[in-house]
Chain A
Amino acid sequence: MKIELPDLSLVCLVGASGSGKSTFAAKYFRSTEVLSSDAFRGWVADDEADQSATEDAFEALFHLAGVRLKRGRLTVIDATHTRREDRAKAVALARAHHAIPVAIVLAPPADVCLERHAGREDRRFSTRVVRNQHRDVLRSLKHLRREGFRHTWVLKEPETIDAATIARVPLYCRRHQADAGPFDIIGDVHGCMDELRALLATLGYEPHATAGFVHPKGRKAIFLGDLGDRGPDSVGVIETAMAMCDAGQAYAVPGNHDAKLVRALRGRNVRRSHGLDETLTQIDSLPDSRREPFRESATRFLDGLVSHLVLDGGGLVVAHAGLPEAMHGRGSGAVREFCLYGQTTGRVTEEGFPERLDWAANYAGGAAVVHGHVAVSAAVWRNNVLNLDTGCVFGGELSALRWPEREIVQIPAAKTHYDRGGPLPSPFPDDPAGGALPDAADLLGKNGVETELMGRITVRAEQSAAALEVMARHGVDPRWLIHLPPTMSPCAASQLDAFLEHPAEAFSLYASAGVKEVVCEEKHMGSRALLVVCRDADAAAARFNVTDGSIGECWTRTGRRFFNDAEQHSEFLNRVRDAVTTAGLWDELNSDWLCLDAELLPWNLKADSLIRGQFAPTAAAGLAATGAAADALARAIERGVDLAEDADRLRDRHQDLLQYRVALREYVRDLNGLEGVRLAPFHLLAHEGRVNHERPHRWHLDRLDRLCEAGGDLFLRTSRRFLDPADPTAIAEATDWWEAATAAGGEGMVVKPAGFTQRDGRTLLQPGVKVRGREYLRLIYGPHYLAPRNLKRLRDRSLGRKRGLALREFALGIESLTRFVNREPLCRVHPPAFAVLALESEPVDPRL
């Protein structure tokens, strides 16, 4: 006998003791797939024959079976299953996990069982028990289908049992899993034949005599169900879909209207409401020659549709009403019902439509889910879920999605075919803010984030709590927040006279890690800024779900909007956008958006109150106090008191403070609106389809140079030098370059491996270390830090914690971008970005 077993089954082996179940199981299944009641009795009671342990053994067995099914593993239960209630439990378990309950009955003649029973010493029960079991098995045969087993095989002869073969077949919904398309997925048509024709033409399909429409490049259409009802030509639409599917040019999944039409065509008593009446009238008015063939073929076609389809290697799931992840690629009545009707709360909205549970709000699955069913005002991606029913029949649009291009194509309705009694609702039913409200549960109480670069990174609850406060109070609209920048460590302390930081330390760090080339980038003294810029507001709406007309956002390292003035904010973004356009980056990168890592100058743009409230007063107070003291000392010396050394010291201190003030003045510039504001981008972090952390810095800087050129005054090009960190001549030149720049008031430089993300063996290298200038460091370590006594102590600084943080934050930042680029839902994009902020609450010397 050939047994075709669905690959996600819960197999119940049914048979009396001695019927050969265990032998059968060992022959056809992996040992890990088989859960035997005997073995479980052994595990819970150290005795496989201990009948008193049966209850506990089954509890453990069912628990394990449930876990396996949840993970999508075929599972075999090797128990007698002679009692109806035992089988019922198995069926219920299979249903709970949307697996197929299957029974394979082994019923060799009773004598065979008894013979085997007699040969076993570990069975202590009497032969009567075996006879009863055998009788029960035979009696149960006719009930199995009604008990819920979707497939049953009965093997009665020992020879048949030996000769059986088992083939595993995928569930219907996964039969086309390997088909990678490309596809054109079409939302609810509802009898709008004219619009469907126009849409197919726009998508490039050509009419065909028998196959309806055919795409010259072999693309396939996918109909998301609800082909008919309400619209003017349901028959035409169903015929088109049917012809295309039969010819292998299309797939289709059933919708609730299709299911109801099948019932009507079969003569069941259904209410002719919600547009069904129109469809049935259209069918009735067909000429006699077409009516019956249509009824028959449509019934066969619609009834044969599989609830949902998993396609493109598992990356795409299509279902009429969508599908939560736990049901993907599975089969059960519940799955089918969800696919057809979705999930409702039992309440009704103002317009009289059922209120729906918003499963997509919490969707976090890997596969993109494309569905229809609920007419909404716009087709927008949300958590990797797209609703393509844009209410064509209600006067909206007929929408299609090009897959894998993810491009949405729409045809406006020719007219309102059916009055809905109100405008189409927002595509964000449970999130009135249009997807902008992250869920507290995603951000609080999580203890770590998995990253591609560094594995799991731990974030403590109190760190998350601190980050929440920062983000909640001041953060930008979270839909933009796809990244926060990592902190950066300085180089090790220099032992050179009168230097705390010196390029030599940075070069030797990378040279010793085997880095062949580094880049030194001028460090601008401003404030770190992250930007997302979109080609236009439509692109922002499509990719970021931000529909208020803005084209991007610019935020600080704590996620706060940079420009408080709304006009300045949008003027700034417009100018950046225009520069990207002029530089031709949209087309070159084939992206409608990009994310820039930059420094925004001058420093006083953001730090004005800090400068006026802390830095400048330090100089003012210091100069006043040292000035007065120096004056008094001079008068005392004049009359012969021995204070010469003190006077010298005070003069030095006064001089330090003057230099401190000069250093400070370097970073303060006049501002008038955007006049005086400069943007110095140094990473082109990400764009559609790609995070650029593995592209060399040359790639970034080349493109950013063009951007700076195109952007004129607003942009500031970053000077840089590439060198081998082990080449003494190159090091000497770079050191001169650094000294000249910092002597002229520059903040310093950042030294990075030229390849961006680099490893030494398995160790991730610091993506960059900063080497700050001598004068600039007065602002950080105080005016007198260069005094030998101070410098000696300041050199004793520990970088370990800072470096660890820099790496972890880097990995987290790249992770959030990667997830966004991979179109994972925001609830997956935010945790790593949020974790960067959480880690920043770690107490680390802020001067590093």
Chain B
Amino acid sequence: MFFSLATTAPQAADLGYLLQKHPERVFRKSLSVGEATVFYPEATDDRCEVCLLLEPDSVKLARDAMKHGNGGGYADAKPYLAGSLLSVAIGRCFNSALGGRAKEKTERLTEDWPVTVSVPALPCRGGPDAVRAAFEPLGYSCDFAAPPLDPERPEWGDSAVHQVTLTGRQPIPAVLNHLAVLLPALEGDRHHFIGDAEVEQLVRRGGEWLAEHPLRDKLVAFSLKRKPSLIAEALERLDAAFADESTEEEPDASNEEGGEVAPAKQPRVRLPKLHTLRLDAIRDVLAEPARGISSVVDLGCGEGKLLRKLIAEPRFTRILGMDVSAPQLARTEERLKLDRSDRRERVTLIQGSLTLRDDRLSGFDAAALCEVIEHLDPHRLDLVAASVFGCAAPKVVVLTTPNREYNAVWEALPAGTFRHADHRFEWDRAEFAAWTDAVAARHRYAVERRPVGEEHPDHGPPSQMAIFTKTSTRAAETGEDG
């Protein structure tokens, strides 16, 4: 909600001409995002400092957030952060300067000014590194100070909100454009609507510097709320306007199908191709002709990646996908185009849970649980085993889960953390063997374990798979007892 820009350029007070705001007056403006005030704490020829104070209406913010189903209500730091709201205010208060226009002293618009920008509360999800990565390529040096979250609770550590000071030599319009584009991109979550107008604005403000920015794609993706179609359009237009040799890299946010993906709440470690390997491994086991499997249920089908592979195998004539999340199922149904006539009969999606007994799951040849169990509380695993192996009881169950030992191989993964924020546990090979053996014995299955992914000599494979095969029950014979 606040930033200041100070300069020690010769005739520093000329800043007022470039911003079209008189240094001795106070400029006030009522905006949709709150009350904006521009004033100068200092205005001499040696040093001039301008401040933009934006006071959002917190009651209105909370109401809007609730109206759009973004939770809202409780404590929200947004009104105090230098993010998207402040960016809007910069746009409205310094519109001419942003566009490189002034009425007087126009010759100084393109001059490099020594500037110091202070932002007392900058949210940086990626930490100081992310801020540096955004501003340093543009020629700023960055200083950070993080206030403690609460001085009386030192054990809580520093706040994730940083006090940032940027220094550099830049033309004034460039500084404003940098802030207007980068502050919201760094904030990372914009709840309001994003459309063509935002693409237009981004291309205009970003211009050449954004086109050449090493983090261009990421910044564009964050700015446009990771909407693939808009991101593509913005990148195309940046390329067209500022033709360069920029990389062919895919935007970080779009997945292989080009579908829309909500921004992950927690940074997720990228595991290139491992998931594909895993899906292929499961598909290959299920498709082995000797097993004679023609009906499969995918328990925890999620976005349907395994289902897609199963659908591609004609030998599976009946496919059921189950997931606990109804909205997820609706998206999957659309993504897999299950309304196509050849799939309507063959593939069914149902909402359900592994912790329930469910008659709809019985009568299938095989069940797959691909990276599912580690998302469940350990004290409920026995229940899950009972529901899958005891009640649904298919002939074959294929199950995969991460091998914790392998985490050591990934440098990016801090020691002792899980691969995914929602993992309740990750097992090493011995723990996996013990559990799968116990389940097999209890529910009369035979179990075989296989590695998935390239094996490390010490740490084993990245993922581990167990194939359970039901041991045959005795043939029926009549008998009476009591």
Contact = CB atoms under 8 A, between A and B. Distances in A.
B73 A845 contact: yes
Contact of B149 (A352, A620, A790): A620
Nearest to A190: B482
Contacts of B390: 431-433
Interface string B147-172: 11110110010011101000000000
A437 interface: yes
Contacts of A150: none
Best-surrounded residue of A439, A617, A639, A784 (most CB of chain B within 10 A): A617
A780 B62 CA distance: 11
Contact of B476 (A347, A436, A617): A347
Interface in B454-473: 473
Given A274-B480, A352-B479, A618-B80, A444 B351 contact: yes
Contact of B473 (A273, A341, A350, A643): A350
Interface stretch (B10-18, B51-59, B218-226): B51-59
Nearest to B355: A472
A438 B40 CA distance: 67
Interface stretch (A622-630, A715-723, A758-766): A622-630
A617 B77 contact: yes
A620 B123 CA distance: 11
B58 A473 contact: no
Interface in A563-616: 566, 612, 614-616
A216 B480 CA distance: 39
Given A621-B81, A628-B2, A780 B352 contact: no
A661 interface: yes
A636 B40 contact: yes
A780 B480 CA distance: 68
B24 interface: yes
A473 B74 contact: no
A432 B386 contact: yes
A771 B476 CA distance: 68
Label chain A's interface by main secondary structure: helix
B377 A561 contact: yes
Given A625-B2, A642-B26, A846 B71 contact: yes
A781 B61 CA distance: 11
| Residues of A in contact with B, size category | 35 or more
A566 B377 CA distance: 12
Interface string B322-343: 0011100000000000000000
A229 B481 CA distance: 11
B153 A668 contact: yes
Contacts of B51: 629, 632, 636
Nearest to B375: A473
A264 interface: no
Contacts of B82: 625
Contacts of B475: 348
B237 interface: no
B59 A793 contact: yes
B192 interface: no
Given A468-B324, A621-B161, A641 B66 contact: no
B121 A624 contact: yes
B481 A354 contact: yes
Nearest to A346: B476
A473 B376 contact: yes
B349 to A, nearest CB: 13
Contacts of A616: 149-150, 153, 156, 159
Contact of B481 (A274, A474, A668): A274
B382 interface: yes
Given A274-B480, A794-B59, A665 B150 contact: yes
Interface in A617-673: 617-629, 632-633, 635-636, 639-643, 646, 649-650, 653, 661, 664-665, 668
A621 B153 contact: no
Contact of A661 (B41, B150, B442): B150
Contacts of A846: 66, 71-74
Contact of A620 (B40, B161, B354): B161
A443 interface: yes
B74 A633 contact: no
A296 interface: no
B326 A469 contact: yes
Given A350-B474, A440-B356, A624 B161 contact: yes
A758 to B, nearest CB: 31
Interface in B32-88: 37, 39-43, 49, 51, 53, 55, 58-59, 62, 66, 69, 71-77, 79-82
Interface of B: 1-2, 4, 24-26, 37, 39-43, 49, 51, 53, 55, 58-59, 62, 66, 69, 71-77, 79-82, 118, 120-121, 123, 147-150, 152-153, 156, 159-161, 163, 324-326, 351-360, 375-377, 379-380, 382-383, 386-387, 389-391, 442-444, 473-482
> 10 nearest interchain CB pairs?
A432-B390, A472-B353, A433-B386, A628-B120, A635-B41, A440-B358, A465-B326, A432-B386, A620-B159, A437-B357
